[in-house]
Structure 1
Amino acid sequence: MTQNSSEGIKELAKLIHGVKFAMLTVQTAEGHLHSHPMTTQDVEFDGDIWFIGGKDTAQVKAMHSHPQVNVSYARPDKGVYVSVNGTAELVEDRAKLDELWSDMYKAYFPEGKEDPNIQLIRISANGAEYWESEGKVRSLIALAKGLVKGEEAHQGKNETVNL
């Protein structure tokens, strides 16, 4: 099933809220896909996803040439999985940096917000897909019933969101 933009954004915001880390996948110059963990910013999802990265990283360099990326979130304890495809933009915006900054980033940027290596990354979501199950026990029961009856196991909700 496919959801429209506004209801899809609300549902995605609910699903990814509180997920501390996401996996950001970029395409390298050689065409390989490379994923790495990024800290999720504590801002409401409105169709854009924000990260803070380093200008000198391979990931940021890859986004210059290949801005199409994927961001995935997982909450296995809740049975929630989200995959967002979008376009990365490397942004210079002091006000946005002030909004997103936390002292935790000093571990990566010793000079604080003044560190010249800081790179804001905005992912403008093009679309997403998510899977939501009713929890591990119910999913295992549905899988077992499907195996016994020789039927497809219905283990929850799978939606596509066009943004």
Structure 2
Amino acid sequence: MTDTDLKATFWDRVENVNVGMLSADGTNPRPMAHHAHRDDGALWFLTADHTDIGKDAAAGKSARYQIASGDAKIYAFVDGTLSVETDRAKLEEIWSPMDAAWFEDGKDDPDVRLVRFTPKTAEVWASDGTAKALYDMATSAMGGDTASPGTHGKITF
């Protein structure tokens, strides 16, 4: 699979993932729900201004986002940078009823921070799915070959 193909697979599958683990340099990872937007080349997060992620985004820190989803058939760690976005139209675009649960005044809450995570590089494992992986492992074991349950590679955005 080429870098371009793996990148397309990444964006296709990450859209089907709800939550990963986000951490800026020097902080522990924390579960965060993302909004994937291939056209922006970004993963978007909503957080409160006073949180570590809100402060790290305001400082433009480097960060890592870790994804592990058997359902979406993707495992990855993505390195990039955080920034705060103030575009109200972008907030309106990504806002969901689930986001409203975190903010007393909804998207008008003064504590809402729209965070852009701009990926730079990633290491991605795109599996073929459980049934295919099990079949591959069984046939490899019987044939003395090494199993290959999917695609693995590094990509640059």
Q: TM-score range by the shorter chain?
A: 0.7 to 0.9
Measured in 1, the distance between the counterparts of 2:151 and 2:55 equals 36
Alignment correspondent of 1:44: 37
Give the 3-state SS of the residue equivalent to 1:61 in structure 2.
helix
Percent of aligned pairs with the same amino acid: 30
Look up the equivalent residue of 1:20 and give its one-letter code. N
Runs of 5+ consecutive residues of structure 1 not aligned to the other structure = none
How far 1:14 moved relative to its partner?
Answer: 0.9
Report the counterpart of residue 15 of structure 2 in structure 1: 17
CA RMSD for the aligned pairs? 2.6
Answer with 94-103 or 57-66: which moved more. Answer: 57-66
Question: What do residues 78-116 of structure 1 show as CA deviations (whole Å, max 9, x unaligned)?
Answer: 532122211111111111111111232222111111111
The residue number in structure 1 matching 2:50 is: 56
Verify: 1:100 aligned to 2:59, yes or no: no
Closer, same or farther: CA 103–141 of 1 in aligned 2, 3 Å: closer
Q: Which runs of 5+ in 2 are unaligned?
A: none
Residue type at the aligned position of 1:86: G
Match of 1:3 in 2: 3
Count of residues in Structure 1 that have an aligned counterpart in Structure 2: 156
TM alignment of 1:20-35, pairs within 5 A: 20-27=18-25, 31=26, 33-35=27-29
Cα deviation digits, residues 5-24 of structure 1 (max 9, x gap): xx554222112122111221
| AA at the equivalent of 1:128 | A
Distance 1:101 1:111 in 2: 13
- Normalising by the residue count of structure 1, what TM-score does the alignment of the two structures yield? 0.78
